[in-house]
Homo-oligomer: A and B are copies of this chain.
Amino acid sequence: MRLAILGGTGDVGEGLALRFAYDSDHEIVIGSRDPERARGKAAEYETELESRGVDRKLTGFANEMAADRADVVILAVPPAHVAAVIEEVAPRLDEDTIVVTPAVGMERDGGFFRYSPPESGSVAELVAATVPDPVRVVGAFHNLSADRLANLDLTFDLDTLIFGDDPDAKDVVAMLVEDVQGLRALDAGPLENAPVVEALTPLLVTLGMYNDAHDLGVKFQ
């Protein structure tokens, strides 16, 4: 499968790119506004993988080119940039493309982190309202620490919640999730359920602050 990670030069993008490259055979394409930066980061990830005996070719392109012919496009960009990045890549998306949204809006509010969704109600709903009509949107990877993903020395046993309105697209993303060792996909229902899944992330950050336990993930059992 061809997997484009837009914002693949940021923390979440880096974590996902390294894990997918390490644990699966999918083709990984790093997207960024700046193609030079995308290429540089792709090379950096290759070096990191090589140091672990994994010989992998990652490519880097401007977002639009990265999304070209991708089966799955992951929007690993901050909520404020989501709409602009989708508009950038829209000509390359069609009814075969699955767009995955892992982003969460949150802000610190004194003693804790507060969920702070865009006006659409959630980042996922903003994505769904912005992609061209036939493109299918799935939420996933919200409740994972970017640093833990990127540190290939670490193993984990965590869940990621999948939501969306297209069952086939959810199945594809669930399979993709489970290519990562130690990650289990759970079905969290329709896209409308996005706010409660996205809101888990600021809770994880708050729990980290209060319990001296950073980079927490979640397991439902």
Residues of chain A at the chain B interface (Cβ within 8 Å): 109-112, 115, 156-158, 161, 186-190, 192-193, 196-197, 199-200, 202-204, 206-207, 209-211, 213, 216-221
Complex CA distance for A51 and B190, rounded to whole angstroms: 44
- Which of B157, B186, B207 is A161 in contact with, Cβ under 8 Å? B207
Complex CA distance for A204 and B109, rounded to whole angstroms: 26
CB contact under 8 A between A211 and B196, given known A218-B218, A221-B158: no
Are the CB atoms of B210 and A203 closer together than 8 Å? Answer: no
Report chain B residues within 8 Å CB of A211: 186-187
CB contact under 8 A between A187 and B210, given known A158-B221, A196-B115: yes
Complex CA distance for A190 and B109, rounded to whole angstroms: 11
Are the CB atoms of B203 and A188 closer together than 8 Å? Answer: yes
CB contact under 8 A between A206 and B193, given known A200-B200, A211-B186, A211-B187: yes
Complex CA distance for A157 and B157, rounded to whole angstroms: 14
Are the CB atoms of B189 and A206 closer together than 8 Å? Answer: yes
- Which of B110, B157, B209, B218 is A220 in contact with, Cβ under 8 Å? B218
Complex CA distance for A203 and B203, rounded to whole angstroms: 14
